[in-house]
């Protein structure tokens, strides 16, 4: 893959400087803005099917850092000023499926099967919300709406969990009174935000209007 021995690209992320990051099953590749020069990080020279290199799933820029979610609770913090990576090891075994920006100083880091963490960047502190507080299915994605509400993508028809980052309240909606049958989406989860009215979340084959 373009000079990187990787079999799969999980995501492509463009940072504020215009650099494009390729998140793969064998490290990170960065295409520099303007020149297009490729720089790689965490790459094993030979991609072995049984082992391979370090996998990266998600990225989020915040201040002077870019946060990259990897396996086994690892989040690598790229320092934009000096190009170094610092490890943030979360106390979990699952991989990080999403890192989202709540505001200028707070992030949410979501695992597949170990719940999620909020992270305060100035204090470098985390708060863990265990998977037992979410519906019983792996999380594959999130959506953060205009009110800093975090919606969790899980493949459970008729159920969706959401977390208010300001009030710290986590709720699960199941079969609300106004549910309309919708065509299932390929990803199993879709969010539609209406800036002039209600908010709709489509988990699997239903849509929930939220006042």
For 123-154, what is each residue's pLDDT tens digit?
999 999 999 999 999 999 998 888 888 999 88
Position 160 scores a pLDDT of 84
Task: Give, in order, the Cα–Cα distances in Å from 54 to each of 5, 32, 90, 142.
Answer: 12, 21, 16, 23
For 90-108, what is each residue's pLDDT tens digit?
999 999 999 999 999 999 9
Measured between alpha carbons, how far is 27 from 11 in angstroms, rounded to an integer? Answer: 12
Would you give the distance in Å from CA 19 to the centre of its chain?
19
Q: Is 61 in contact with 79 (CB distance < 8 Å)?
A: no
Position 174 scores a pLDDT of 77
Position 192 scores a pLDDT of 56
For 175-204, what is each residue's pLDDT tens digit?
644 333 333 344 455 555 555 444 455 544
């Amino acid at each position: 893959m373009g000079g990187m021995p990787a079999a799969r690209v999980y995501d492509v992320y463009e940072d504020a400087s215009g650099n494009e990051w390729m998140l793969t099953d064998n490290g990170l590749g960065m295409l520099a803005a303007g020149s297009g020069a490729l720089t790689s990080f965490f790459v094993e020279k030979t991609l072995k099917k049984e082992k391979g290199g370090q996998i990266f799933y998600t990225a989020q820029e915040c201040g002077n850092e870019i946060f990259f979610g990897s396996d086994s609770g690892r989040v690598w913090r790229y320092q934009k000023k000096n190009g170094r990576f610092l490890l943030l090891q979360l106390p979990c075994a699952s991989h990080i499926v999403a890192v989202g920006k709540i505001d200028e100083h707070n992030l949410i880091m979501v695992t597949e099967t170990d719940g999620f963490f909020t992270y305060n960047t100035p204090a470098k502190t985390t708060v863990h919300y265990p998977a037992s507080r979410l519906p019983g299915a792996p999380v594959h994605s999130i959506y953060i709406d205009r009110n800093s509400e975090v919606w969790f993508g899980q493949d459970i028809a008729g159920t969706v969990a959401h977390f208010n980052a300001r009030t710290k309240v986590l709720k699960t909606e199941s079969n609300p009174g106004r549910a309309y049958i919708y065509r299932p989406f390929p990803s199993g989860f879709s969010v539609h935000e209406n800036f002039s009215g209600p908010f709709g979340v489509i988990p699997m084959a239903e849509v929930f209007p939220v006042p």
